[in-house]
Structure 1
Amino acid sequence: MMSWDDVKFYSEMYARRIRYMYPIKNHLESRRNKKILEENRLKYKNTENPLVSVLIATYNRPELLTERAVPSVLRQTYQNFELIIIGDHCTNDTEERLKKFKDERIKFFNLPERGKYPEDPHKRWLVAGTAPANKAIELSSGEWLAPLDDDDEFSDDHIETLLKFATDNDYDMVYGKVRMETEPDKWDELGSYPLEGSCISHMAVLYSSRLKFMKYDINCWKYIEPVDLKMWRQMKEAGARIGFINRIVGNHYLEKNQEKE
């Protein structure tokens, strides 16, 4: 049986190996992604009045989902969208509540089992919802994809504003600013350019289906990188044309703690 010192030694050795391999992994992914994006630019062209896929991953938060997130999508000034909601193996009445909207654009799919996330609370937070988020991308059929967390809300003109900005300037990905709740009822603005980890919110983004081949990496916790930030970083490194609009496009609420769920 290994001693505690042996455990610490091999753990540190494994961590060093991970840190050493990460730049190599990033380089190889960047080269692959750049090639795919260049090919997709030739295949997919912007059209008028394109379908937008709004993507929501959720787990047992039907009140916030149906009272905040979903209504903010339904009242959009741009109405040509589909709303794809994926449950991370929800065990409550999420589906029944969604059916009450009686809107054919809302599509719900519940995963047969939850994603496999780390036990450590912080590491789990880095990749929470990765499994349903990737399923939502897989099931989307829109020319543009708009992620939204199940406890946040779009501004009424979220899709219209970002879509017009993207198509007018031939961007692959665009993002705006959000009102971020830092303490109960205390709000700051988040969003700036150039694209860096601390200047962008997950729900402030709209990106082209040319980038749909990219998926959220459930192993981000090994590198202490939030899963959505890695996605945006990969888009940037692949040569995606990225634009920032200095407009509020939604509200990002103080997160409810789901670490023990």
Structure 2
Amino acid sequence: MRDRSSAAYQNLFNQPHPLVTICIATYNRGPLLLERSVASSLRQTYRNIQVIVVGDCCTDDTARLMATVRDNRLSFVNLPERGNYPTEPLLRWMVAGSVPMNHALGLAEGAFVTHLDDDDEHGPDRVEKLLSFIQQERADLVYHPFRSENESGGWTVNEASRFARRNVTTSSIFYHRWFTDLGWDPLSYRLREPGDWNRLRKIRFLGARTRRHPDILLSHFRERNQRND
């Protein structure tokens, strides 16, 4: 990563109030999207944010619900065609959402970028904490512990003890915008790798400087209530 030493790369760590982009890919979870992920994004204590929601050709009421949000920090795009994902359920799970996520990355204007699944929730001070942390550490990417809902409705904590598979997830990372050029690979299922980890493994291979923030800043809910999947 030779670019790390450039003035353009390093200047983002010195900006007092840089724009932070939150990317959300969605498919037919309109109410959850609005009530949980979009709501938790817009109530962040750090206000200089751009929230980009991209629909994977949503056919439910997602567009109507997004239009009810009166906040110019939020934008919604619904793609005209859904991504071409494999039909086998496990393989489909690995890469579903890759196409809208890559579209969101193409629209991201922030100095720093993060993500949120359409049915999950970030803590209200997450962006504020992680922005301060990444600038202080001058890290390329930071990650953090998160709690996950189990089948019985209880919660377990993933301590994210290291930057490795099953320790990080799409919604638990925060990084320098340099990595927006490295998108999700919709064919990562051929390696039997989820798209998020396939991408993060490449980031690790590039020699990214990663740091762990100790706070639990994400609630990862069990997947449910998706229509017409």
TM-score, structure 2 length as denominator? 0.94
- SS of the equivalent of 1:57 reads strand
Question: Which residue identity does 2:100 align to in structure 1?
Answer: P
Compute the displacement of 1:92 (Å). Answer: 2.1
**RMSD (Å) for aligned C-alpha atoms:** 1.5
Alignment of 1:182 with 2:146, yes or no, is: no
2:167 to 170, 184, 199: 199
Q: Which residue of structure 1 aligns with residue 48 of structure 2? A: 80
Alignment of 1:68 with 2:36, yes or no, is: yes
User: Would the alpha carbon gap of residues 165 and 137 (structure 1) be closer, same or farther in structure 2, given more than 3 Å must change?
Assistant: same
Q: Which residue of structure 2 aligns with residue 161 of structure 1? A: 129
2:2 to 16, 27, 38: 38
Cα distance in 1 between the residues matched to 2:170 and 2:119 = 12
Residues 88-99 of structure 1: pairs in structure 2 closer than 5 A: 88-99=56-67
Aligned 8 A contact 1:89 1:111 in 2: yes
* Stretches of structure 1 lacking an aligned partner (at least 5 in a row): 1-36
Cα distance in 1 between the residues matched to 2:88 and 2:226 = 12
Cα distance in 1 between the residues matched to 2:226 and 2:188 = 18
- SS of the equivalent of 1:90 reads coil
Aligned 8 A contact 2:37 2:119 in 1: yes
TM-score, structure 1 length as denominator? 0.83
Cα distance in 2 between the residues matched to 1:140 and 1:66 = 20
Q: Which residue of structure 2 aligns with residue 143 of structure 1? A: 111
Cα distance in 2 between the residues matched to 1:237 and 1:193 = 19
Q: Which residue of structure 1 aligns with residue 216 of structure 2? A: 248
Aligned 8 A contact 2:60 2:227 in 1: no
Compute the displacement of 1:183 (Å). Answer: 2.0
Alignment of 1:239 with 2:207, yes or no, is: yes
Q: Which residue of structure 2 aligns with residue 15 of structure 1? A: none
Aligned 8 A contact 2:146 2:160 in 1: no
- SS of the equivalent of 1:156 reads coil
Cα distance in 1 between the residues matched to 2:207 and 2:226 = 35
Cα distance in 2 between the residues matched to 1:109 and 1:41 = 35
Compute the displacement of 1:223 (Å). Answer: 0.6
1:212 to 163, 177, 180: 180
Aligned length, in residue pairs: 225
User: Would the alpha carbon gap of residues 119 and 41 (structure 1) be closer, same or farther in structure 2, given more than 3 Å must change?
Assistant: farther
Aligned 8 A contact 2:55 2:78 in 1: yes
Q: Which has the higher helix share?
A: 1
4+ runs deviating over 6 angstroms: none
How many percent of aligned residue pairs carry the same amino acid?
37
Deviation string 1:209-237 (CA, Å, 9 cap, x unpaired) is: 01111000101110100100111111111
Deviation string 1:152-201 (CA, Å, 9 cap, x unpaired) is: 00001110111111110000100111111122421011132321101112
**Larger CA Rg, structure 1 vs 2:** 1
User: Would the alpha carbon gap of residues 114 and 92 (structure 1) be closer, same or farther in structure 2, given more than 3 Å must change?
Assistant: same
User: Would the alpha carbon gap of residues 82 and 50 (structure 1) be closer, same or farther in structure 2, given more than 3 Å must change?
Assistant: same
Cα distance in 1 between the residues matched to 2:227 and 2:185 = 19
Question: Which residue identity does 1:200 align to in structure 2?
Answer: V
Cα distance in 1 between the residues matched to 2:223 and 2:210 = 27
Compute the displacement of 1:258 (Å). Answer: 5.2
Aligned 8 A contact 1:175 1:200 in 2: yes
* Stretches of structure 2 lacking an aligned partner (at least 5 in a row): none
Q: Which range is displaced more, 224-233 or 177-186?
A: 177-186
